[in-house]
Amino acid sequence: MNRRIRELKAYPMDRLNRAKEELRRKGIKIYDFGTGDPKEPTDERIRRALIEAVPEVSQYPTVKGRRELRQAIAGWFEKRFGVSLDPDREVIPTAGSKEAIFHFPLVFIDTDSEKRKVIFGTPAYPVYERGTFFAGGETYPVELKYEDRFLLRLDRVPKSVLEETAIVWINYPHNPTGAVAPLSYLEEVYGICREHNIILCSDECYTEIYFKEPPHSTLEVGKEGVVVFHSLSKRSGMTGYRSGFVAGDERIIQEYLKYRSSFGVASQEFVQRAAEVAWSDEEHVEKRRKIFKEKAEIFDRFFREIGLEFLPVEATFYFWVKLPKGISGEEYALHLLNYGIVISPGEFFGKGGEGFFRIALVPTPDECREATEVWRKAHKEFMEKRN
């Protein structure tokens, strides 16, 4: 087995799934705030489009996907961000964003070059690191700080490191912290990447779940050397459909397209037709935002009541919560499991996650209210034992 792969820890969500199976065996009611897979139904029009498109004979999808889908994506992107994309040269539909994020370094890291480092912030979505390992690159994680509002400060990375860097990953709105990046920050990072000839990859899968101002896309500040990754999983409640896209610099997109046939294609055609409907409609997205806002308000009040500090949630459906000094996220999570409450310890997301935990606003609003009552009792008992 590949040594680098052998050294990787188990994927964090696999550990959560095993814990949930144990709770089910014991007959304990589960309030699952672990994996970010919300329960809200996918819009009926999207489901109907998929069902009506299921063919009698199923054939392979292409790497480029349906032109109608690429056009729908480009149309949505221009309306949402004011950036024009060529649907034939600057957009590739993908089977969700995870596989595209994982595969991207396979094409753009030259293992024979000194320029093979990949920079990403930590705590983070694990796939930036894992994709780099599988591609033979060198990871350079940068610890994100609460006092910096979890922005990756590329300006503090040594120039010698930047000169050896092939790819920088940013992810705003951010998983796991929910942090949002202002346009000025994106401009700064873009400038540094251009100066050092680095591909700037922006994971933007959470831009459509917001409660105040709409978050920005990195493509708003420039297209040269920039690639963005989007998905319908969170925006449209289509996690199981596996549908997203990669867009940006034409030269990079066309290079990526050339090699994608070795490891990836677009989603099945019937999923693509459902995706066309999803990207062409905002009404269902607005409804989802209202539901997530209701859930966020429930936990905003709850965490304030029990005295836990957290980053105010402006986007995503995550809360990144700070525990009292000396308490680990894993210790707290194991205690809550006894009550059927599943959370993600900050340690799951890498260095910088210690002393925090993440909740994903997955259960329904009513379930969230019910969970806070159980959680209040569990938290009180935990703190009494600690004191």
Lowest mean pLDDT among 57-61, 107-111, 232-236: 57-61
pTM: 0.94
The pLDDT, as a whole number, for residue 15 is 64
CA–CA gap between residue 48 and residue 43 (Å, rounded): 9
How far is CA 252 from each of CA 91, 255, 282, 334, rounded to the nearest angstrom?
11, 5, 29, 44
Residue 341 — φ and ψ, nearest 5°?
A: -95, 120
C-alpha 154/C-alpha 131 separation (Å) is 20
Helix/strand/coil (H/E/C) assignment for every residue in 85-100: CCCCCCEEEECCCHHH
**What is the average pLDDT across 259-281?**
94
Average pLDDT of the residues in 244-273: 95
Query: Is the pLDDT reported for residue 12 higher than 60?
Result: no
Burial of 210-236, coded b for 16+ CB within 10 Å and e otherwise, reads bbeeebbbbbbbbbebbbbbbbbbbbb
Q: What is the pLDDT averaged over residues 203-210?
A: 98
Is 205 within 8 Å of 231 (Cβ atoms)? yes
Nearest Cα neighbor of 379 from 347, 352, 343, 354 is: 343
What radius of gyration do the chain's Cα atoms show? Answer: 21
Q: Is 278 helix (H, G, I), strand (E, B) or coil?
A: helix
Q: Give me the mean pLDDT over the 259-286 stretch.
A: 95
pLDDT of residue 380: 95
Distance CA(112)–CA(133), nearest Å, equals 15
Mean pLDDT of 355-370: 96
Instruction: Taking residues 355-378, report their average pLDDT.
Output: 96
What pLDDT was estimated at residue 10?
Answer: 60
Q: Domain 44-279 maps to which CATH number in 3.40.640.10, 2.60.40.420, 3.40.50.720, 3.40.1360.10?
A: 3.40.640.10
Contact 200, 211 (CB under 8 A): no
Please, where in the chain does CATH 3.40.640.10 lie? Answer: 44-279
Are 207 and 217 contacting, i.e. CB atoms less than 8 angstroms apart? yes
* Domain 3-42+283-386 CATH class label: alpha beta
Residues 81-138 pLDDT 10s: 999 999 999 999 999 999 999 999 999 999 999 999 999 999 999 999 999 999 999 9
Q: Where do you find CATH 3.90.1150.10 in the chain? A: 3-42+283-386
pLDDT at residue 258, as a whole number: 95
- pLDDT mean over 152-160: 98
* Beta bridge partner(s), residue 318: 360
Query: Rounded distance, CA 274 to CA 278, Å?
Result: 6
Is the pLDDT confidence value at 11 over 60?
A: no
Location of structure tokens 């320029």: 115
Mean of the per-residue pLDDT values for the chain? 94
Dump the DSSP string for 196-215.
TT-EEEEE-TTTT-BSSSPP
The percentage of residues in the chain with a pLDDT greater than 90, rounded to a whole number, is 85
Q: Count the Cβ atoms, other than its own, within 10 Å of residue 310.
A: 19
- Which has the minimum average pLDDT: 25-34, 90-99, 188-197, 338-347? 25-34
pLDDT tens by residue, 36-45: 888 899 999 9
264: pLDDT confidence band, cut at 50, 70 and 90? confident
Q: What is residue 235's predicted lDDT score, i.e. its pLDDT?
A: 97
Q: Kindly tell me if the per-residue pLDDT of 13 is higher than 70.
A: no
CA trace torsion 22, 23, 25, 28 (10° rounding): 170
